[in-house]
Amino acid sequence: MEETGAMKMAARACDQTRRDRRRAFLLGGAGIAPAVAALRTSQAQAATAAQAALPVTRYRTAAIDGVNIFYREAGPADGPVVLLLHGFPTSSHMYRNLIPLLADRYRVIAPDYPGYGQSDMPDRASFAYTFDRFGALVDALLDSLRVSRYAMYVMDYGAPVGWRLALKHPDRITGLIVQNGNAYEEDLKDFWDLIKAYWADGSPAHREALKVLVTPATTKFQYTDGVRDVSRIAPDNWVHDQALLDRPGNADIQMDLFYGYRTNLPLYPVIQEWFRARKPPTLIVCGANDQIFPAEGAHPYRRDLPDAELHLLDTGHFALKDKLDAMAPMIREFLDRRVAPH
């Protein structure tokens, strides 16, 4: 009987323990519910704040001297301006991933030249496709946006367009980012032989031979040549560019510009003198494996800009498409350190 009574007492104790645990759980749950609700509110507020902080790119068009110029714009209206000037055969599309990485602090503007991207493509019979004209239109666009001070990112064709802006307004440039864009004849190597032949005589035969440069194979080559891991390059890049090159009449526009590129060479000594006189803060970051503007063309900048920061990356012509993860922090740090304080 004593053993049975002890067992009953133990059973009652176990039952009481279970009841106490259940009560504690229920009481605890009453306290947990508000905490969970508060946590969810905090998470929602953080997500809202993150979305608010994420820069929004706006896509605009301005009528400049009778031509509709498309441009991408992002960032605070009163932020230091960074002008992104694209190369051949692309458009402001090439900067679409870089823009939001700068636009939390900087006002970023990336236009399309006529005949490129979403800008008008006027008939060659009534519009001169020249680098002088491109420079004048970009300058007028900046005036319409009330931009009087800006850093420039110049790449490929963006370099001769940018040099014209710098020579017209030598005091407006707050800094330079140079990526596979040239200001020295040392950069015009073997790739340019066919183009130089056209410069020499302007013949229809040499013009026709240059049309290989607007074919799908060449457009893809520009993005993939010299790239170690091609899986890093989105095929959208060359598909997008080729669709615009294939528009009726666009190939002849490109031939006009290939021929007109010869007008950039006489500007090189003048822009080099501007480098020496103005000493703009300069970051040079280039694809070392580029056949169009080889790495040899990056080093001469240091003759005239000894304080320029030079980085050669293991990639090709469109370095930004392969090395955005390396280049964006480099560009941002340069702007924060050398340009924003001005």
Nearest to 94 by CA among 339, 330, 317: 317
Nearest to 183 by CA among 306, 113, 85, 273: 273
261, 288 contact by CB (below 8 A)? no
Residue 215 burial class via C-beta count within 10 angstroms: exposed 0-12, middle 13-18, buried 19 and up: middle
Report the distance separating Cα 180 and Cα 15, nearest Å: 80
Catalytic residue (choose from 86, 93, 240, 317) = 317
Peptide bond into 235 cis (omega under 30): no
Report the distance separating Cα 72 and Cα 85, nearest Å: 11
Task: Give a three-class secondary structure readout of 108-172.
Answer: EEEECCCCCCCCCCCCCCCCCCCHHHHHHHHHHHHHHCCCCCEEEEECCCHHHHHHHHHHHCCCC
Nearest to 119 by CA among 160, 153, 91: 91
Report the distance separating Cα 160 and Cα 117, nearest Å: 18
Q: Running DSSP on this structure, what letter comes out for residue 62?
A: E
Q: The tokens of 60 are what? A: 């605009």
165, 140 contact by CB (below 8 A)? no
Give CA separation, 131 vs 90, 114, 261, 270, 340, in Å: 15, 11, 8, 16, 29
Judge whether 317 counts as a catalytic residue: yes
Nearest to 312 by CA among 334, 327, 329, 325: 327
| Residues tagged active-site | 317
